[in-house]
Amino acid sequence: MRNLEIFDSTLRDGAQARNISFTVEDKLNIVRALDALGVRYIEAGNPTSNPKDLEFFTRAALLHLQNAELVAFGSTRHRERTPQDDPLLQRLLGAGTGTVAIFGKSSELHAREVLGVSLEENLHMIEETVRYCVQNGKQVIFDGEHFFDGYKQNPDYAMRTLQAAASAGAMRLVLCDTNGGCFPDEIAEITGKAVARFGGMVGIHCHDDTGCAVAGSLMAVGAGAVQVQGTFIGFGERCGNANLSAVIPSLQLKRGYACIPEGQLCELTATARYVAEVANIVLPAQLPYVGASAFAHKGGMHIDGVTKLRSSFEHVDPASVGNERDLLLSEMSGRTSLLHKIRAFAPGLRKDSAQVAQLMDILKRLEFEGYQFESASASFELVVLRHLELFSSPYRVELFRIVGEQADKQESKLSSAIVKVQVGERSEITAAEGQGPVNALDKALRKALEVFYPEIRDIRLVDYKVRVMEPQRATAAKVRVFIETTDGAASWTTVGVSTDIINASFKALTDSMDYKLYRSAKGL
């Protein structure tokens, strides 16, 4: 297998995405995860523009990384300073990484119009900056900003910027599609030209503004690039960067490149989910390879096909990237997928048993009422477990009441809720306030249950979704509520349906509590 360098910029380019903001602790955690997975370079910040990043590099120096090398990011020297006198450049060197990434303008237009320097001066800036870093013991990766757009306007000048960096000792020349507007065929063609001239020192850096960042990266590798830059789950400025969690398995499983150490690919999904969690975003379900839906099958025909022949609707084995096949239940699917799901927790059940037929009926009725179990597998599991008498709720809700009062249509006051639960001979009545009736109910129910089941304290709701069905019935329509819960070790989703949003929410809430109690009874 040929080696290919994976250069992750989640902590630098990724941090420029909307809604992303990392603490120093977050960054250290992501560095550890990416190092464990085995990426080659981690671009971890821009110490010249962000003081927090300087603290990060000081602490990161104490990490004992196994696979990765940290990279600090900065730009060419100021146009009116020497490298020695440029305080930003001094700060970059001060980050103490063995490798630095230096970006410079590879486009005539940008050198003139944005930097406001002559074309010759821009070349000097690149060459002097790279040379100064090399002389100070750094390995230098040169990022040619706007290289592709620059090449289209003035190919000769774009190549001269790379030449300037190469002569000064840069070890990689990275071609950046900074605006993300190039198509993969253009990327392939132009990368091929750079490779023809500079050989095996060319890298690629794509943005996703046309939705082609991953494809552009793959095509560049096909044209001879030896390094792919991107962010681990694709987030970055505007539409994001090349999504490395898609680039890595595509190259490693299908094109014979060694991107990360052998045996580590099965950690890909877990790493992606971890990075999303630290970044505090929901990992998009449809993300290639690592998303929750990446191997989910809904159409009955697809489910039938995939159980007959794995490869019929799966381009790779989900296990190879640490993901799982998921057969979704829906009006389009049938008994095969149901049985497959049930067997996960009731392995003895036969396809032709009466219980399976009864369960089909129960589930069909619930789906007809508006339940949707494909994204609420915990509620599905509870329906099955209850029917098979493998679980029953150990408590009973005797009453719940909302006390909502509103003086006028100005912003809401707190709502209050009363909940009474009974466990055996004992009962507990309690109240709580919250932002809106559902939040109040959630809090009151937990308060009451915690008296009996301290493990309820471990759980936390992480998502709450409402879908109005039959919208033409307007406010009398049914609503479907999904609640996602985590206890730190696992997370699960439950569903409730009713014409009353409070009632629907309460069903999903009690299912969520029940599922925790079931897990806890099973010692999970």
C-alpha dist (Å) from residue 200 to 40, 140, 195, 196, 377: 16, 15, 7, 9, 49
Nearest by Cα to 232 from 484, 74, 36, 462: 36
Segment near its own copies (CB under 8 A); pick from 14-22, 86-94, 121-129, 381-389? 14-22
246 lines the binding site for its own copies (CB under 8 A): yes
User: If you ran DSSP here, which 8-state letter would residue 82 be given?
Assistant: -
Query: Given the complex with its own copies, which of 174 and 206 has the nearer CB atom?
Result: 206
Check binding of 487 to its own copies (CB under 8 A): no
Which range in 30-38, 89-97, 130-138, 313-321 contacts its own copies by CB under 8 A? 313-321
Q: How far is the CB of 135 from its own copies (least distance, A)?
A: 26
Overall residue count recorded for the chain in this entry: 524
Return the closest-CA partner of residue 10 out of 271, 215, 275. 275
Q: Does 230 bind its own copies (CB under 8 A)?
A: no
When asked if residue 321 is in the footprint of its own copies (CB under 8 A), the reply is no
Strand partners, 75: 103
Q: For residue 87, count other CB atoms closer than 10 A to its CB.
A: 10
- Choose which of 97, 139, 337, 505 interacts with its own copies (CB under 8 A): 505
Residue number with CB closer to its own copies (103 or 346): 103
The region, left, alpha or beta by phi > 0 then psi within -120 to 50, assigned to residue 23 is beta
Binding to its own copies in span 367-406, by CB under 8 A? 372, 374-375, 396-402, 404-406
Which of these segments, 163-171, 285-293, 346-354, 357-365, binds its own copies (CB under 8 A)?
A: 285-293
Residues 90-109 that bind its own copies (CB under 8 A): 109
**Do 378 and 494 touch, CB atoms closer than 8 A?**
yes
Based on the shown chain and the rule CB under 8 A, indicate whether residue 299 belongs to the binding site for its own copies: yes
Stretch that binds its own copies, among 55-63, 168-176, 305-313, 382-390 (CB under 8 A): 305-313
The residue from 101, 125, 165, 218 that contacts its own copies (CB under 8 A) is 218
- State the nearest-atom distance from the C-beta of 124 to its own copies, in Å: 20
In the chain, the largest separation of any two C-alpha atoms, in whole Å, equals 87
Query: Do the Cβ atoms of 320 and 253 come closer than 8 Å?
Result: yes
Closest distance to its own copies from the beta carbon of 354 (Å): 26
CB of 441 to its own copies, least distance (A): 8
Instruction: Name the nearest CA neighbour of 276 among 259, 264, 292, 263.
Output: 292
Is residue 364 classed exposed, middle or buried when 0-12, 13-18 and 19+ CB atoms within 10 A define those classes?
exposed
| Residue 50 in contact with its own copies, rule: CB under 8 A | yes
We find the least distance from the C-beta atom of residue 277 to its own copies, in angstroms, to be 11
Question: Does position 286 bind its own copies by CB under 8 A?
Answer: yes
User: Measured from the CB atom, is 311 or 358 closer to its own copies?
Assistant: 311
436 forms part of the interface with its own copies (CB under 8 A): yes
> Among candidates 286, 277, 276, 212, which has minimal Cα distance to 247?
212
The least CB distance from residue 504 to its own copies, in Å, is 9
* C-alpha to C-alpha distance for 339 and 40, rounded to whole angstroms: 43
Piece of the chain touching its own copies by CB under 8 A; list 55-63, 65-73, 121-129, 507-515: 507-515
Q: Which strand (E) or helix (H) includes residue 485?
A: strand 479-486
Q: Exposed (0-12), middle (13-18) or buried (19+): which is 10, by Cβ within 10 Å?
A: buried
Residues 6 or more apart whose CB falls under 8 angstroms from that of 146 comprise: 105, 106, 107, 109, 110, 176, 178, 179
Q: Is 169 in the site for its own copies (CB under 8 A)?
A: no
Query: Is residue 500 part of the contact set for its own copies (CB under 8 A)?
Result: yes
Closest distance between its own copies and the C-beta of residue 254, in Å?
Answer: 7
- Please tell me whether residue 28 adopts helix, strand or coil conformation: helix
181 binds its own copies (CB under 8 A): yes
Residue 13 or 127 having the CB closest to its own copies:
13
Which range touches its own copies (CB under 8 A), out of 3-11, 123-131, 260-268, 431-439?
A: 431-439
Is position 240 an interface residue for its own copies (rule: CB under 8 A)? yes
Q: Is the Cβ–Cβ distance between 468 and 500 less than 8 Å?
A: no
Closest CA to 56 of 97, 103, 6, 90: 97
Strands 227-230 and 202-206 come out as parallel
**211 lines the binding site for its own copies (CB under 8 A):** yes
Hey, what are 405's tokens? 């009062």
Per CB under 8 A, 442 contacts its own copies: yes
